[in-house]
Amino acid sequence: SLSGKTAIITGSNSGIGLGVARELAKAGADVVLNSFTDRDEDHALAAEIAKETGTNARYIKADMSKGDECRALIEKAGACDILVNNAGIQHVSPIEQFPVDKWDAIIAINMSSAFHTTAAALPLMREAGWGRVVNIASAHGLTASPFKTAYVAAKHGVVGMTKSVALETAQEPITCNAICPGYVLTPLVEAQIPDTMKEYNMSREDVVKNILLERQPSKEFATVEQLGGTTIFLCTDAAAQITGTTISVDGGWTAL
């Protein structure tokens, strides 16, 4: 059980982050949810998880595009045994038209935020004598697709950072790994469907099967519960010597 551990999950009022937070809370961890908004429904998500699991669940607002807010998130939480760097956005465009502000935002949110949160969290993990850093990278941290330069660059960067942090903590009871999901049906992916339907003049079903899941040999989406389960595995004693590596949850994508 993860009882007594505090888990901070960045970008967790939706999608994979929320799913991972739910699974960690079910496993007994106190969870800190996060996004850049501060709405009643954000706090209600934490209250609902606390009620369902009997753990302490909080929501802390912090914008992961800003380094100081990333660090403040960890400080405000006060403890961080498990850090799940999950916040992320996507933008799809040929490189010549790729908006510079989108490039900057993707590099900041998808990659640099993990630099800041990890730097702030490691001292707390050392003090506690145990820690797990789990970076939600992507199959796009290991392979590429056209029109996703910023996302692919940021996710490869996260995989590289994962290795460096693992080496810096190698002789301590702290591990740092990246989980590389293939396609998971979350709002981030849902948002790509209408444009792709237009681009290829295809129905929703054809886009899902022939475009989105084209490279996912299982022809099934991975689920947020499976990503939560993989995160929990990385927190077990069985995974204590797993560090500086990637675990693909991609239905065979990277085997192709």
- Among residues 6, 35, 55, 248, the one that binds ligand NAD under rule CB under 6 A: 35
Q: Does 211 bind ligand NAD (CB under 6 A)?
A: no
CB of 127 to ligand NAD, least distance (A): 25
Instruction: Pick left, alpha or beta for residue 244 (phi over 0 → left; psi -120 to 50 → alpha; otherwise beta).
Output: left
230: its two tokens: 């993989």
Binding residues for ligand NAD, total number by CB under 6 A: 27
142: its two tokens: 């290991």
Q: Does 251 bind ligand NAD (CB under 6 A)?
A: no
- Among residues 46, 57, 109, 165, the one that binds ligand NAD under rule CB under 6 A: 109
Of 230, 227, 231, 188, residue with least CA distance to 81: 231
- Among residues 138, 216, 230, 248, the one that binds ligand NAD under rule CB under 6 A: 138
CB of 38 to ligand NAD, least distance (A): 11
CB of 201 to ligand NAD, least distance (A): 23
Cβ closest to ligand NAD, residue 3 vs residue 210: 210
Catalytic residue among 59, 151, 183, 200: 151
Is 151 an annotated catalytic residue? yes
Q: Does 188 bind ligand NAD (CB under 6 A)?
A: yes
Residue pair 32/77 in contact (Cβ under 8 Å)? The answer is yes
- Among residues 6, 9, 11, 83, the one that binds ligand NAD under rule CB under 6 A: 11
Q: How many CB atoms lie within 10 A of CB 131?
A: 25
Residue appearing with tokens 């519960």? 225
Cβ closest to ligand NAD, residue 130 vs residue 223: 223
Angle at which helix 224-234 crosses helix 15-26, to 10 degrees, equals 50
Residue pair 130/119 in contact (Cβ under 8 Å)? The answer is no
CB of 110 to ligand NAD, least distance (A): 6
Which among 15-23, 76-84, 193-201, 203-211 is the span making contact with ligand NAD, rule CB under 6 A? 15-23
Catalytic residues: 151
Residues of the shown chain interacting with ligand NAD in the complex, contacts defined by CB under 6 A:
11-17, 35-36, 63-65, 86-89, 109-110, 136, 138, 181, 183-184, 186-189
